[in-house]
Amino acid sequence: MPDVSIIGSGPAARACDDLLGRTGFEVRRAFEVDETERNPAIVGETAGAYAIARQLIGAGRHVLIASPLSLSASQLLALLAARSPKQALFLWSERRFHPGYRFIGGLAEADPVTWQPRFIRQTSLLIEAASAIAIRWRTLESIALSLKLTQAAPESVIAAAAESEQRNAPDFLSLNLQTDKGPAFIQVGMGESSARQETTLAVAYRKAYIDELNESVPIRITDGSETAVAGSSRWVSCPSPAPEELTRQQCLAFLEATERATLAEAEAALWARSLAVLHAADASLSEDGAAVDVQDQDQPGFRVILGQQPRQRSAGRMLPA
């Protein structure tokens, strides 16, 4: 039996195929599920991606979805609900594995008192044209990144959006997310003239800035203590976020979670919390920007943003289905 099966194609699936093959893994490539296999599977771009992922989950296999844009938020939630305890379900997200976030996350894990979050601000402005699918995924990815970096539990959210009539989808979305560890301010824009992907993490006496598009020194840490010189800061270099390194980190995290149940559970819980925030953001938009509590994803009637269930309110702008 092969070590890993890759079902479908696409850039991410091909990158995994190339990397795993060169590092000694036996990889089977296919466009359908082999019911005799029990090995971890990577689902790339393919027709019926949701049905394939659901079949794999139902068979008890660990799954990395390398084309999350092909799935609706409702389908992602259904996959999370269908997985069994200890079963790894990962979504491809290069931003989360950027070395800058891993560096700051490591500092926070090593010294949680010093790096207790005061607030986090995240800006993701993209050149690509706005679409309902793209804005949904980019927002979900930003939420997951913020919650992962702060290790926070979401409590309530206020959402505002500007819709592009030509694209029939928002091209700018702003979230004011309250968590148990302070606020998170998230902005996602599409169709911009230039790209920006930046995050600021503020703690008691410091601020860490992560510029994802700076390939040489993407991290800057400022010191705001009383003894610090005004404006003092340190630039931190780290490994270049080359595509191969981002692929390696994601494959490594996925395969490690297939052996360690705690990692699999943490990953599933992160995406479930992120989808719950999207659900609350949807409700906030429908109520003209009112603050909406983030529901426990296990509560009856939980519905995610861009779901297909009919809505009871018509006021305000909602992200389209």
Task: Classify residue 264: in a domain, yes or no.
Answer: no
**How many beta carbons lie within 10 A of that of residue 301, not counting itself?**
6
CATH of residue 37: 3.40.50
CA atoms within 13 A on the CB side of 44: 18
**Domain that residue 50 falls in:** 4-71
pLDDT in tens, the chain (321 residues): 789 999 999 999 999 999 999 999 999 999 999 999 999 999 999 989 999 999 999 999 999 999 999 899 999 999 999 999 999 999 999 899 998 898 999 989 899 998 999 999 999 999 998 888 899 999 999 999 999 999 999 999 999 999 887 777 889 999 999 999 999 999 999 999 999 999 999 998 889 999 999 888 889 999 875 555 555 677 777 766 788 889 999 999 999 999 999 999 999 999 999 999 999 999 999 999 999 999 875 543 444 444 333 333 333 444 444
Which residues, at least 6 apart from 158, have a Cβ–Cβ distance to it below 8 Å? 175, 176, 284, 289, 290, 291, 292
The whole-angstrom separation of Cα 147 and Cα 154 is 8
Backbone angles phi, psi at 128, to 5 degrees: -60, 145
Number of domains in the chain: 1
Question: Across the strands, what pairs with 196?
Answer: 125
Task: Classify residue 141: in a domain, yes or no.
Answer: no
Task: Classify residue 23: in a domain, yes or no.
Answer: yes
